[in-house]
């Protein structure tokens, strides 16, 4: 959720630039990553693939396109970048030779009484992953709330 541009202070505006003060659910993050890797299209989320009626007929549920937000070229660059994060970046422990996986970790500080806190238990961690990087079929969203240590 983003506040109206005209209703935020300059400090809050600059915090939002690098992600502080922005709220997003795991489903919203998954939808955002999906648009990054599927050519720039945003689809309404659904968990139903098809409906099989009593008479045996099958009704296929088609995804509902809601917006086009990136160019296809941007999407191709993002898939390459997300694969590089796992093979070359801080998240290299997630890289598995022979698989073209992609992903990105994230850390969000937790605010308490109007101030962001530091130290163990004052962050939320996440990993957004895609299988496979060049022909993505699945997005995996993992969220860890208030981890007490970091695995490296």
Query: For residue 45, what are the domain limits?
Result: 5-145
User: Does residue 152 sit within a domain?
Assistant: no
- In 3D space, the residue among 103, 33, 118, 12 whose CA is nearest the CA of residue 75 turns out to be 33
User: Does residue 20 sit within a domain?
Assistant: yes
CATH number of the domain that 124 lies in?
3.40.710.10
- Give how many domains the chain has, as a whole number: 1
User: Does residue 55 sit within a domain?
Assistant: yes
User: Does residue 46 sit within a domain?
Assistant: yes
Query: What is the full per-residue pLDDT of the chain (152 aa) written as tens digits?
Result: 566 767 777 777 777 666 666 778 888 889 988 998 889 999 998 888 999 999 999 999 998 999 999 899 999 999 999 888 888 876 677 777 787 888 888 888 888 887 888 888 888 888 888 888 778 888 888 888 898 876 55
pTM of the entire predicted model: 0.71
User: Does residue 150 sit within a domain?
Assistant: no
Q: For residue 132, is the peptide bond before it cis, meaning its omega torsion is within 30 degrees of 0?
A: yes
**Measured between alpha carbons, how far is 18 from 59 in angstroms, rounded to an integer?**
43
User: Does residue 99 sit within a domain?
Assistant: yes
User: Does residue 80 sit within a domain?
Assistant: yes
């Amino acid at each position: 959720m983003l506040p109206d541009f005209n209703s935020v202070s300059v400090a809050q505006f600059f915090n939002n630039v690098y992600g502080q003060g922005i709220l997003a659910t795991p489903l919203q993050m998954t939808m955002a990553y999906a648009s990054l890797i599927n050519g720039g299209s945003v689809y309404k989320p659904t968990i139903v693939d098809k409906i099989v009626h009593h008479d045996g007929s099958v009704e296929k549920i088609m995804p509902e396109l809601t917006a086009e937000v990136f160019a296809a070229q941007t999407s191709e660059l993002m898939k390459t970048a997300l694969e590089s994060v796992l093979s070359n970046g801080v998240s290299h422990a997630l890289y598995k030779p022979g698989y073209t996986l992609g992903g990105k970790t994230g850390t969000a500080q937790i605010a308490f009484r109007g101030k962001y806190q530091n130290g163990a238990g004052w962050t939320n961690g996440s990993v957004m992953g895609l299988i496979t990087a060049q022909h993505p079929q699945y997005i995996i969203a993992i969220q860890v709330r208030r981890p007490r240590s970091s695995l490296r």
